[in-house]
Amino acid sequence: MPKIGMQPLRKQQLINATLESVAQFGLQKTTVVTISKIAGLSSGIISHYFGGKQGLIEATVKYLLEQLKVALLEGMTNPPLTANERLKMIVEANFTQLQRSIPATKTWLSFWAQSMHDPGLARLQNINSKRLYSNLLFSFRQILDEDLAQIASKQTAAMIDGFWLRSALSTKPKEEFKQAQQLCKNFIDEQIKQYGDISCQS
């Protein structure tokens, strides 16, 4: 009989091992065997908990998405925040240490490429994009007119994704990620300064 509480621990072990396997071998060469070896668990447990490699890959991406949400909520534990401060918090949530780590960056890059061919991963990518845009729009609407808020949200989302991608592919990712985060925040300040309500600035 399995010990009480072991299932969540085992699942997280396998998710962590998947991140490490993708970092070492890439998504295509990551298998049930490579994952189970890294996790130090039998390969059968992957089928038991996730139904196979595909289910575990999707669970791993969901974990990274959930960590984005957690980072954002943790940053907003001391309300009230101004709309500007919330926008900056969204940027920071996308550039946390986890999201900048080698296992996470390689998994994200593999995920984006594979999502063009895999309906399940494409659905997760769509959820991710809509969530980022929605979070940005909520705050921009408190500062800008509706049309400008929509445009600024799309531009900021594109900057976050674009700068994150460039940083992940850089030969000096640590420096690039730091600069990318600041450039995204600078863009938000510029939008508010040019078009917004100054009372909403931090």
152-184 pLDDT per residue, tens? 999 999 999 999 999 999 999 999 999 999 999
Non-local (6+) Cβ contacts of 141 within 8 A are: 149
State the CATH class of domain 59-200.
Answer: mainly alpha
Q: Would the pLDDT of 143 be above 60?
A: yes
* The model scores a pTM over 0.85: yes
pLDDT at residue 3 in the model: 54
Pair 32, 43: CB distance under 8 Å: yes
d(CA 132, CA 172): 26
Helix, strand and coil in the chain, % to nearest 5: 80, 0, 20
Pair 96, 89: CB distance under 8 Å: no
Non-local (6+) Cβ contacts of 101 within 8 A are: none
11-59 pLDDT per residue, tens? 999 999 999 999 999 988 999 999 999 999 999 999 999 999 999 999 9
